[in-house]
């Protein structure tokens, strides 16, 4: 049986010199050295997320210090990770109901944003917070006091939601 062999490749004069290839390689290396860096020196240099970013869910606190939430429980029902617990109570305020207990278990949360999508009051939104460290299980269960965030800080996200709903 006859075995077929590949033709032998013959180097050109310039390929035999290697110098053009070395110069090409050096050009690529120096080009990378002066190129804009894609990496950052985190944590000294923080990343500021865009308003489309889904960070930790928080509760919106109005300028008068009251939460927007009316304790309807929709976010809790839609949460696929069963991370939200809401207990409603009555209030004499115009909204009639408020959450006397509102907790999010951040060890369960998968940042899906369903709670934000379903909320009829824009009372729970995905904040730009991405830095979370917990050393104890209890610390990861965020109560209302920890979740309440001034509406001013959440303005970019609220505007993003209005523009894309
Ligand atoms: S972002 Fe998703 S997983 Fe997290 S609390 Fe909201 S609905 Fe639950
Ligand atoms: S955050 Fe929104 S969806 Fe959840 S209980 Fe409050 S009002 Fe209802």
**Residue 70's CATH number:** 3.30.70.3270
Probe target for ligand 2 pocket from 121, 122, 154, with the most ligand atoms within 8 Å of CB: 121
Probe target for ligand 1 pocket from 113, 127, 141, with the most ligand atoms within 8 Å of CB: 113
Is residue 22 a part of any domain in this protein?
no
**Digit-coded pLDDT (tens) for 90-144:** 999 888 999 999 999 999 999 999 999 999 999 999 999 999 999 999 999 999 9
Q: Which domain holds residue 106?
A: 57-164
- Its pTM stands at 0.81
Among the residue ranges 2-6, 11-15, 106-110, the one predicted with the least confidence is 2-6
CA distances, 7 to each of 4, 10, 117 (Å): 9, 9, 64
Is residue 109 a part of any domain in this protein?
yes
**Digit-coded pLDDT (tens) for 130-157:** 999 999 999 999 999 999 999 999 999 9
Number of compact structural domains in the chain: 1
Is residue 77 a part of any domain in this protein?
yes
CA distances, 71 to each of 18, 78, 99 (Å): 73, 14, 5
């Amino acid at each position: 049986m006859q075995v077929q062999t590949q033709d032998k490749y013959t180097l050109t004069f310039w390929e035999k010199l290697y110098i053009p290839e070395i110069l090409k390689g050096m050009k690529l290396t120096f080009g990378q050295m002066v190129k804009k860096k894609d990496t950052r020196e985190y944590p000294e240099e923080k990343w500021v997320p865009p308003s489309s970013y889904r960070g930790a869910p928080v509760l919106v606190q109005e300028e008068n210090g009251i939460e927007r939430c009316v304790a309807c429980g929709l976010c809790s029902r839609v949460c696929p990770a069963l991370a939200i617990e809401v207990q409603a109570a009555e209030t004499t305020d115009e909204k009639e109901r408020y959450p006397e207990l509102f907790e999010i278990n951040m060890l369960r949360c998968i940042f899906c944003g369903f709670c934000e999508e379903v909320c009829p009051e824009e009372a729970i939104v995905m904040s730009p917070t991405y830095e979370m460290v917990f050393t104890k299980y209890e610390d990861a269960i965020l109560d209302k006091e920890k979740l309440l965030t001034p509406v001013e800080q959440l303005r970019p996200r609220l505007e993003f939601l209005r523009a894309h709903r």
